Amino acid sequence: MLTATPAIQTRTPDELAAAVRQSRETATPLVDYGVAHRGVGNPPPESHTPLKQCASARGGVIEHYDRDMAIRVASAITVADLHAALRPTGQFVPIDADPDLTLGEIINHNVYGALRVGYGSIRDLLLGLRFIDGNGDDIHVGGRTVKNVAGFDMTRLLVGALGELGVVYEATLRTYAIPEQIIVVDVQLDDPTRIDNRLTDLLLASAAPTAMSIANLTGKWMVRMGYFGKPAGCLAQLRSLETFLDTIPGARIAGHGPMTLDGELDEIHARRSWRRTASSLVKLVVPPAATGKVCWELAETMTGVSIHVAAYPVHGCIFAGGDLNAHETERLGRLADELCVLHHGLRVWYNRPAGAEHLAPFAPPQDDWSLMAKLKQTIDPRWILNPGRLLTPPTEAYPR
Amino acid sequence: MVGASGTTSDTHVIDELRAVVGQTGLICDPNQMRIYECDGFTVAKGMPTAVVFPTDTDQVSRCVKILARHGVAIIPRGSGTGLAGGCVAFGSGVLVSTTRMSRIESIDLANRVAVVQAGVRNTALSDAIATSGLHFSPDPSSQRASTIGGNAATNAGGINTLKHGVTTNHILGVEMVMPDGSILQTRAKGLCDGIGADLAALICGSEGTLGIITRLWCRLTPKPRYFRTFYAVFESTHDCCKTVSDVVASGIVPTSMEVMDGQMIRVVEDAFHYGFPTDAQSLLLLEIDGIDQVLDEQMRAIIAIAEGNRARNIKQCSDPVRRAELWSARKRAFGAIGRISHSYCTQDACVPRSKLPEVMETVARIGKKYDLRIPNVFHAGDGNIHPILLFDEADPEQVQRILLASKEILEYCIEIGGALTGEHGVGVEKLHLMPKMFNAATLRLFLDVKKTFDPHQLVNDAKLIPSDKLNIELLKPSSMNIPGGAL
């Protein structure tokens, strides 16, 4: 039974630093697992203080360097608010995440999606960070310029660090012009494995998409491509795709059409909404050319269980899950682990139902975890920031 | 032959190292080591005790264990094309050169990843996959000579990084020999994601201060197929830089936008005769890539911006031969400087692109103030300026003036929201300016991170992070050969 004390809400960096220092002095962990990643990693210590940051004035936008295609924002800004703030300027940050997620949650969990093909992930979009370390010190790294190699790259170090190395309170990001045209294309596939060895060819062809995902959400394997750019370019790419698909047996275009940016982002959100509600959800990362095979195995091997599978094949990232009970979740876990061994991949549980909490949150163990733990010790000597979520404290200071 | 310091303990260390790398895998004769006294930052020189040339990770590990046991300073070095004194042994120490670790170990086109030893030259990898349509995108000007390990250690940029990213965007994982000789692998399976903090990103750009990178998992990306290239000249650098700023603000992302000022145009033209108008005050060389069907439209928009800023002599080209010539002109620009000055110091700051016009005016003003010639050739699209301060190495007074001017330029760039270094790194050259860029807590954290990797602070110590270990006083008289003259 968790005995969380009332949440601390901070509005300014100074308040945040004070909260961290207070927690350090009282050895009370500060916990922020986000809203969509509560199931990632080990649970928080029994006794902890939830931390919430409030977006500051101006809706969380601190400064928009519109002529430099960059924006400085509070980490508590949500994706929806970020898009809304930028929309009137004709710019956007190509973050592909649920609209209610904060930028801080996206950074902590390295959230990305279909748009990573054309725009990169948050790791590529981040120019600078400000965060409070475990000592309560205010750390500023990176900045607003698009290149910067002064000092250690703590900015990217924190991406995916699960909030264990610092509490991010501000970030500077690249922005892009909202594309004139977006065309989305749904391609039906008989067999997802057919794309595995053609991904490089696709990226080399004029049909290379800006966004790409594959899923079996409707019972059929559908690849969703997005072409962003000038109308003439999108049209040319669509024609190239038609030619390209002629070389893939069992692939056909099921539909295509123009889409606004907001419409496309809404659809992306709708297609990933099952992940928020699934009782069981596991993420696998495999070599990209194994994506289709792993998707197929996940969907077809779990007989008698309805499994949703969605993947970003260019980056080998796969989500699988559904409303499974503990026994079914264990089966899914065994299969995921076997596939990881077979393809030298890795997996992370996002959601586990009651009775399946014992499943190891991460696998296989990575060679660099011991060094990460030493870094954690350096940056957060009292282990108060999301302690034990991934990295094991030197002694089990915090009962779970 | 004993090395520069010539002590008995040096002899023991050298004997042990030779047992690992063989007779030909180590040099310690000062005459042979002369080229290892400095990198591209020739103002700072220091003779190492020895240079070892391991051929694989195991040899690096064994060498590092020997050096750590003896408490000898360890300085990682690629091909020595750095520009900030980051791979030089100041005082003493053994250089560990990765240049003989030049094997491309595997190329996986289906997964678009190559595994290379750290000493593989940048272009060697792209050459090896030339027929595949893929390439290794980072393209520093030194790419024919520089190693991928060195590119990663300095997070090198280049001409095409405006659209395609710097080195860290193209490194999936690294293997590194830690300062105790153990071997770290981080994100080493070539996957596009990992679990936990991104240590590979931390190691990229750490300038060899955390360990010696020995192997890398490199992301291979499609080589652009369709281009449009243009150049235009301007009557003022201000107009040229305003064009760059306006293109950025329009949302167009060119592959590259490079600027040469009038001095540089004339140097390049005198040297190579590309046909650039020598009366121009500035030249913008710009390239876009992407879907063939939209490039002309995009180029028309860019030309309209240039014309709005009073460009003249706008020349477009899609001919591959002429395009290659134009880029050759850009890449050979630094080499041409040797025709007008024996010595030069290239600065490297990054500024908000909207401020480029006033930045270039300020650089010119500082040049006048210190009575220096400062030609400029730079990655304008990134806001990455490279003022080239010309001087005579034999004249200590001139050396002082270029150092003072450099300091003033960099301080100004930091004040307007820029970065101390865009792609060359801190090394020893910019140590004194780190406190201008970072608050005390951040600098303290950098040092703590360094100590986490290197508790005894043996590997490339006192580079990147200011400390009192090296008395870096670039402005001290008679400090021409060694920063501070007291290293």
What does the block give as tokens for B262?
A: 């009038």
Handedness of CA B172, B177, B180, B185 (dihedral sign): positive
Task: State whether B195 and A366 contact (CB < 8 Å).
Answer: yes
**What does the pLDDT read at residue B7?**
67
Q: CA-nearest residue of chain A to B424?
A: A149
Q: Which of B155, B222, B245 sits opposite A204 (nearest CB)?
A: B222
How far apart CA B47 and CA A382 sit, in angstroms, is 43
The pLDDT of B195-213, averaged and rounded, is 98
Number of domains in chain B: 3
B281 with B217, same domain? no
Is the four-CA dihedral A332, A333, A334, A339 of positive or negative sign?
A: positive
Q: How far apart, in whole angstroms, are the C-alpha atoms of residue A352 and residue B317?
A: 58
What contacts B119, CB < 8 A, 6 or more positions away? B78, B79, B97, B98, B99, B100, B101, B102, B147, B149
From the candidates B132, B163, B192, B217, which should be mutated to test the interface with A, based on the most A CB atoms within 10 A? B192
Same domain, B109 and B126: yes
Question: Which amino acid is residue A393, in one-letter code?
Answer: P
Q: H-type helices in chain A, by residue range?
A: 13-26, 79-86, 103-109, 116-119, 122-125, 154-157, 199-204, 231-245, 261-277, 291-301, 326-343, 369-379
Determine which of A152, A181, A234, A378 to mutate to test the interface with B (most B C-beta atoms within 10 Å): A152
Residues of B in contact with A137 (CB under 8 A): 441, 444-445
Asked if A285 and B191 come within 8 Å (Cβ–Cβ), the reply is yes
Residues B115 and B217 in one domain: yes
Its pTM stands at: 0.95
Q: Is the same domain home to B42 and B91?
A: yes
Domain boundary among B317, B339, B373: B317
Q: Which residues pair with B176 in a beta bridge?
A: B184, B213
Radius of gyration of chain B, Cα coordinates, nearest whole angstrom: 22
Length of chain A: 400
Task: Report whether pLDDT(A371) > 90.
Answer: yes
Q: Which residues from B are below 8 Å from A288, CB to CB?
A: 110-112, 192
B455 belongs to a structural domain: no
pLDDT at B5: 52
How does pLDDT run across A171-195, given as a tens digit for each residue?
999 999 999 999 999 999 999 999 9
What length does chain B have? Answer: 487
Give the list of residues 6+ apart from residue B47 with CB closer than 8 angstroms, or none.
B4, B30, B33, B36, B37, B89
| Same domain flag for B88 and B134 | no
Domain-ending residue, one of B48, B64, B97:
B97
Q: Give the span between the Cα atoms of A293 and B194, in whole angstroms.
A: 20
CATH number for position B35: 3.30.43.10
Instruction: Identify whether residues B265 and B196 lie together within a single domain.
Output: no
Peptide bond between residue B375 and the one before it cis (omega within 30 degrees of 0): no
Question: What burial letters (b/e) apply to B9-19, b meaning 16+ CB within 10 Å?
Answer: ebeebbebbbe
Q: Looking at the domain assignment, is residue B23 inside a domain?
A: yes
Q: A232–B444: do the CB atoms touch at under 8 Å?
A: no
DSSP class of residue A29 equals -
Q: What are the distances in angstroms from CA B317 to CA A77, A289, B5, B278, B298? A: 45, 38, 57, 20, 14
Beta-carbon separation of B110 and A374 below 8 A: no
- B196 and B256 housed in the same domain: no
What is the pLDDT, as a whole number, of residue A59?
A: 72
Q: Would you state the pLDDT for residue B483? A: 37
Give the pLDDT confidence of B349-365 residue by residue, as tens digits. 999 999 999 999 999 99
B143: domain CATH number?
A: 3.30.465.10
pLDDT tens digits for range B18-66? 999 999 999 999 999 999 999 988 878 899 999 999 999 999 999 999 9
Beta bridge partners of A251: A189
Find the helix packing angle between B237-249 and B356-369, rounded to 10°: 150
Contact B441 A139 (CB under 8 A): yes
Do residue B202 and residue B279 come from a single domain?
Answer: no
If asked whether residues B128 and B49 sit together in one domain, one would say: no
Helix, strand or coil for residue A107? helix
Q: Is position B373 within any domain?
A: no
Q: In this predicted model, what pLDDT tens digit does every residue of A267-317 receive, in sequence order?
A: 989 999 999 999 999 999 999 999 999 999 999 998 889 899 999 999 999
Distance, in Å, from the CA atom of A389 to the CA atom of B99, rounded to the nearest integer, reads: 41
On whether both B217 and B231 belong to a single domain, the answer is no
- Quick one: B112 and B212 in the same domain? yes
Q: What is the DSSP letter of A283?
A: E
CA torsion through residues A134, A138, A144, A146, sign: negative
> Which whole number is the average pLDDT over B457-479?
75
Has residue B2 been placed in a domain? Answer: no
CA angle A249, A253, A255 (to 5 degrees): 160
Check: CB of residue A45 under 8 Å from CB of residue A29: yes
Flag whether B149 is in a domain: yes
**Structural domain includes residue B380:** no
Mind telling me how many Å the CA of A2 is from chain B's nearest CA? 24
Per residue, the 3-state secondary structure of B188-247, as one string, reads: CCCCCCCCCCCHHHHHCCCCCCCCEEEEEEEECEECCCCEEEEEEEECCHHHHHHHHHHH
For residue B162, the distance in angstroms to the closest alpha carbon of chain A comes to 8
CA distance A292 to A103: 30
B486 interfaces chain A, CB cutoff of 8 Å: no
Pair B15, B55 in one domain? yes
Q: Tell me if B417 is assigned to some domain.
A: no
Q: Which of A49-63, A126-140, B427-441 has the lowest mean pLDDT?
A: A49-63
Q: How far apart are CA A49 and CA A20, in angstroms?
A: 11
Q: Which domains, ranges and CATH numbers included, belong to chain A?
A: 57-177 (3.30.465.10), 181-268 (3.40.462.20), 278-363 (3.30.70.2740)
* B293 near A CB under 8 A: yes
Residue B390 · residue B374 · CB < 8 Å: yes
Domain's final residue, options B97, B117, B132: B97
Smallest Cβ–Cβ distance between B422 and the set A147, A157, A348 belongs to: A147
| ipTM (interface pTM) | 0.96
User: What domain range is B259 assigned to?
Assistant: 227-317
In chain B, % of residues over pLDDT 90: 80
For residue B484, is it within any domain?
no
pLDDT tens sequence across B265-297: 999 999 888 889 999 999 999 999 999 999 999
- Asked whether residue A354 carries a pLDDT value surpassing 80, the answer given is yes
